[in-house]
Structure 1
Amino acid sequence: MPHTLPLTEPAVAGLPATFYRRIRPEPLSQPYWVAQNHALAAEMGLRPSEIFDNPDNLLYLAGSAPAYNPTPIATVYSGHQFGVYVHQLGDGRAALLGESGSGGQRWEWQLKGMGKTPYSRFADGRAVLRSSIREYLCCEAMHGLGIATTRALALTGSNDAVYREEAETAAVLTRIAPSFIRFGHFEYLYHTGRHHNLPVLADFLIDRHFPECRRADNPYLAFFQTVSQRTAALIAAWQSVGFCHGVMNTDNMSALGLTIDYGPFGFLDHYDRHHVCNHSDHEGRYAYNEQPHVAHWNLIRFASCLLPLVPESALTDELERFPEAFQTAYTARMRAKIGLQTEEPADHGLIGDMFAALQGRKVDFTLFFRHLSKIGNTHGEPPPPELASLFEGSADAFVHWLGRYRGRLHAENSNPEARAVRMNAVNPLYILRNYLLEQAITQAKNGDFREIERLHRCMQNPFEERQEFADFAERPPQWAGGICVSCSS
């Protein structure tokens, strides 16, 4: 039977040919389902049974169908990788299958790991099961946290060998997003002298995703302002949950303000402002505390590509507003995390001093905020045992901070029970820790995909405590500190 995927030609195909090339996926041997995202299928207005019970749909989403209509598209972009400009990158192992729509929303479908494209350079265009599981689960974990992200509809696998540091098995991920356009698409046009195509791409995004910008005096400036604001909000969200992207190159920055391209990512286990999750990042360029600064640096690179469309002074003014926009978004999130309902000028210092009290104490980032909700209003009362047990070494600095915090709570007449409910609604109990991923990957390599499905169910709602996921709420084991993720992850 033919595939039943409701795909039409992607709108990107209407752009000039300089933006993309048509490609043919390279089939895998005997593909099989690894994971199916029924919840996302339903959100997209699809019937999961019609999508996942059809063997021809499996072949199609594994890059292994006999024919593809529409013909998949790989787009070209460039970017700054670890601060160094690379003139041509592009979709080296991904291609747009098409798009679908429901309820006024359009979704692009992209296969990742389906073989070589004209932009693969010297790579094989494949993805391995290990890294594909990581991306599948983290897309959905971020969505569960309420953070803007690409999504993952399905994951297929094959026993075909793919070689990284060692031989691994192949996988193909079906990624979903309103758009996969990145800063790097604009960089390619600007730095290769294709300036006449810059307004074409900007107009494409404005018309499809930012129609309100069309009413501005300069729609292109309004477009950049919107991208900057969305980026500030995105990075504030990352910082608030301890998410480290790992490789914030400009080609990994979404023009829609989405989290995109999950590689050597990691959530903080214990708080360390200098944590580097990517072992390929030897200089710590993308450390946790550097992410807001890198986002600003990337926006400067993006703004330079809009110089043919927007006066430099206007772009500079907007770039100068980014640090404040980030800080405002970040402080708002942190106020909610510590249960504050009002705004005070001193809150920025209170939040900063809280993290200073945690630095060097190996305090679990996620569990700290969860247990902080148990704090009462009584001055001098010691921290609850669950919270105190998170500290290694002296907690004197935190106890001193706790006095100031309670003073702030008293000032707004905070009710402890109501505050705990509010805090638990924004502070996750479950986070997609790397050791949980390693356990799921190990089982998957042995053909058991149940832990992937279990993690996915848990991370769809990481705020609600459920007994079936009690093991996911524990502090990481000692061996978790030895997990190594790099750009090959």
Structure 2
Amino acid sequence: MHASSSPSAVPSAWQPSWHSNGFASLGPAFLTRLQPTPLPQAQLLTHSPDLAAQLGIPAAWLASDAAAQMLTGNQLLPGSQPYASVYSGHQFGVWAGQLGDGRAIMLGELQDGSDPAQGWELQLKGAGPTPYSRRGDGRAVLRSSIREFLCSEAMHALGIPTTRALSLTSSPAPVYREEVETAAVVCRAAPSLIRFGHFEHFAARDQQAELRQLADYVIDRYYPDCRNAGTQSRGSPYAALLRAVAERTAEMLAHWQAVGFCHGVMNSDNMSILGLTIDYGPFQFLDGFNPGHICNHSDTQGRYAFGQQPQIAYWNLFCLGQALHPLIGEEDATVAAIEAYRPHFSQAFAALMRRKLGLPALAANSDESADPATAVVGQLLQLLASERVDYTIFWTRLSEAAASASYDAVQDLFVDHSAWQRWLLSYQELLQRLGAAPDADLMQKSNPRFVLRNHLGEQVIRAAQAGDAQPLRQLQTVLATPYDAHPAHSDWAGFPPDWAASISISCSS
């Protein structure tokens, strides 16, 4: 089906219920109303049945041509009033000024079927230029769109806070990057897509009325407990908001580091105010464990290397704190709110690593600094890094070893067997000290067999570019239950091929 020159509303078997006081209600200072730019011959490649069910979207509608057109932006969902929002931010540590939704167009906020007071924002990424495109074409290519769709849903299945992806549509329309590619659109969803950069934008322009309006909206919609701030936040709801965001961000970063996820472009405008993983660009799950690994070939200085991510999140929180400071009013209160990040990250990361090792959780109010597992975890990460041991496979084999009490397959991952044996002895001594055997069931539920490695993404991308979306759907199905064995696809849980090291991922898409 060839689209007309502009999208138009059409009858639909699905009638969305839109939230009346979502982000768009803040007014024209925050956004620009506009229409998506149609793409020819749009077709639905895949969708998330899980998310569709949660949003109350009928499966029959998703199978229709009307769905493909609306989820591409060729036709409007009934009642939709599309817009793009404005924000600013720091990119690679440098103030970049005004940015905004350069190729993402918000359709609106759906009411949650189970709780009408809650909502889900639906956004089309790749739906055409906006006033914030900065001379870009507003499009996304099939390659990057497949990666974003798959990783959004894979991260959700791993239990990591993330934006979601409802659908992926494609078009043969040419898009010009390093080479000519074809276009695609991801419909992503989240309770909110507000970023640190939204606050930075108004603070940098000294638009304090709009800054306060935005902060009040976020508090009332997403952090209502901050309205009655406690003494820890000096009575300020805005300091309480900053503290709450710091803690959610710490939780997200702990999950990233525990699973071996590299984001690749942690600019302040790519940080979610809800602590969600957002903007899947040059991401990567580690193959060999390397804290210095850089997954974005545009990151020539290694600012966003894997091991730097927790510190970069902390730096970005200072950007948010600087933006909120005019509302908080006290420098000490602002800094104290940001500093909540460090202990929260340490506690969250320690808890996740204990689960991965099959250890019992720390008792409430325990002194974390005296946790004997901390040294064992640190020694293990140093050992994995020294030999670049495959991160996912190590944890899978350790989980299996805990069930069988045979660690031979784990030892085979190491060149220095004596170093491995020393660590294993310290692990076993820790278990004896705790008076517990490793919880193999907990380990197998905490250590995924399948993650979206670069070479797996590359394989399904090549197939889709050749017109075959079946491998994409198969990989999507496996990643939806990453802790299961999936014997028919056991090779996807194996070591990456040699050519995987040559895959180059950049910010371009």
TM-score, structure 1 normalization = 0.95
1:408 matched residue in structure 2: 430
Q: How much does 1:476 deviate?
A: 0.8
Of 16-25 and 54-63, deviating more is: 54-63
1:456 partner amino acid: Q
2:46 matched residue in structure 1: 35
- Does residue 6 (structure 1) correspond to residue 8 (structure 2)? The answer is no
Deviations 1:224-270 (A, max 9, x none): 11100000000000000000000000000000000000000000011
Sequence identity, in percent? 46
Structure 2 Cα separation of the partners of residues 273 and 281 of structure 1: 15
Of 319-328 and 304-313, deviating more is: 319-328
2:383 matched residue in structure 1: 357
Unaligned runs of 5+ in 1: none
Moved over 6 A (4+): none
Structure 2 Cα separation of the partners of residues 40 and 377 of structure 1: 34
1:315 matched residue in structure 2: 334
Structure 1 Cα separation of the partners of residues 165 and 338 of structure 2: 32
Structure 1 Cα separation of the partners of residues 402 and 278 of structure 2: 40
Please, which of 315, 339, 345 is the counterpart of residue 326 of structure 1? Answer: 345
Of 6-15 and 316-325, deviating more is: 6-15
Deviations 1:395-419 (A, max 9, x none): 3222111111100111222235xx1
Of 73-82 and 207-216, deviating more is: 207-216
1:373 counterpart SS class:
helix
- Does residue 395 (structure 1) correspond to residue 406 (structure 2)? The answer is no
Q: How much does 1:468 deviate?
A: 2.3
1:296 matched residue in structure 2: 314
Structure 2 Cα separation of the partners of residues 332 and 39 of structure 1: 28
Deviations 1:444-473 (A, max 9, x none): 001111111111111111111121221211
2:5 matched residue in structure 1: none
- Closer, same or farther: CA 209–474 of 1 in aligned 2, 3 Å: same
Q: How much does 1:7 deviate?
A: 4.8
Asked whether the 8 Å contact 1:7–1:98 carries over to 2, the reply is no
- Closer, same or farther: CA 234–377 of 1 in aligned 2, 3 Å: closer
- Closer, same or farther: CA 66–202 of 1 in aligned 2, 3 Å: closer
1:95 partner amino acid: I
Structure 1 Cα separation of the partners of residues 399 and 279 of structure 2: 33
Deviations 1:43-64 (A, max 9, x none): 22222212x1332222111111
Question: What aligned pairs does 1:46-65 form with structure 2 within 5 A after superposition?
Answer: 46-50=57-61, 52-65=62-75
Asked whether the 8 Å contact 1:377–1:410 carries over to 2, the reply is no
Question: What aligned pairs does 1:204-243 form with structure 2 within 5 A after superposition?
Answer: 204-216=217-229, 217-243=235-261
1:283 counterpart SS class:
coil
Structure 2 Cα separation of the partners of residues 443 and 237 of structure 1: 31
- Does residue 346 (structure 1) correspond to residue 356 (structure 2)? The answer is no
1:74 matched residue in structure 2: 84
- Closer, same or farther: CA 66–145 of 1 in aligned 2, 3 Å: closer
Structure 2 Cα separation of the partners of residues 135 and 125 of structure 1: 16
Asked whether the 8 Å contact 1:72–1:95 carries over to 2, the reply is yes
Structure 1 Cα separation of the partners of residues 131 and 263 of structure 2: 27
Asked whether the 8 Å contact 1:377–1:406 carries over to 2, the reply is no
Of 209-218 and 75-84, deviating more is: 209-218
- Does residue 286 (structure 1) correspond to residue 308 (structure 2)? The answer is no
Of 188-197 and 36-45, deviating more is: 36-45
Structure 2 Cα separation of the partners of residues 346 and 280 of structure 1: 40
- Closer, same or farther: CA 7–132 of 1 in aligned 2, 3 Å: farther
Asked whether the 8 Å contact 2:246–2:340 carries over to 1, the reply is no
- Closer, same or farther: CA 66–329 of 1 in aligned 2, 3 Å: closer
Root mean square deviation, CA, Å: 1.7
Structure 1 Cα separation of the partners of residues 284 and 437 of structure 2: 34
Of 98-107 and 110-119, deviating more is: 98-107
- Does residue 258 (structure 1) correspond to residue 273 (structure 2)? The answer is no
Asked whether the 8 Å contact 1:31–1:59 carries over to 2, the reply is yes
- Closer, same or farther: CA 117–5 of 1 in aligned 2, 3 Å: farther
Structure 2 Cα separation of the partners of residues 357 and 415 of structure 1: 23
Structure 2 Cα separation of the partners of residues 455 and 195 of structure 1: 47
Of 365-374 and 6-15, deviating more is: 6-15
Q: How much does 1:362 deviate?
A: 2.3
- Does residue 336 (structure 1) correspond to residue 359 (structure 2)? The answer is no
Q: How much does 1:40 deviate?
A: 1.0
2:242 counterpart SS class:
helix
- Does residue 188 (structure 1) correspond to residue 201 (structure 2)? The answer is yes
- Closer, same or farther: CA 171–42 of 1 in aligned 2, 3 Å: same
Asked whether the 8 Å contact 2:351–2:361 carries over to 1, the reply is no
Structure 2 Cα separation of the partners of residues 206 and 274 of structure 1: 37
1:152 counterpart SS class:
strand
Please, which of 431, 438, 442 is the counterpart of residue 422 of structure 1? Answer: 442
Q: How much does 1:160 deviate?
A: 0.4
Asked whether the 8 Å contact 2:125–2:187 carries over to 1, the reply is yes
Deviations 1:67-123 (A, max 9, x none): 974331100000000000011100000011012121113101000000000000111
Structure 2 Cα separation of the partners of residues 150 and 160 of structure 1: 27
Asked whether the 8 Å contact 1:5–1:57 carries over to 2, the reply is no
2:181 partner amino acid: E
1:109 matched residue in structure 2: 122
2:365 matched residue in structure 1: none
Structure 1 Cα separation of the partners of residues 252 and 88 of structure 2: 22
2:428 partner amino acid: R
Structure 2 Cα separation of the partners of residues 389 and 206 of structure 1: 52
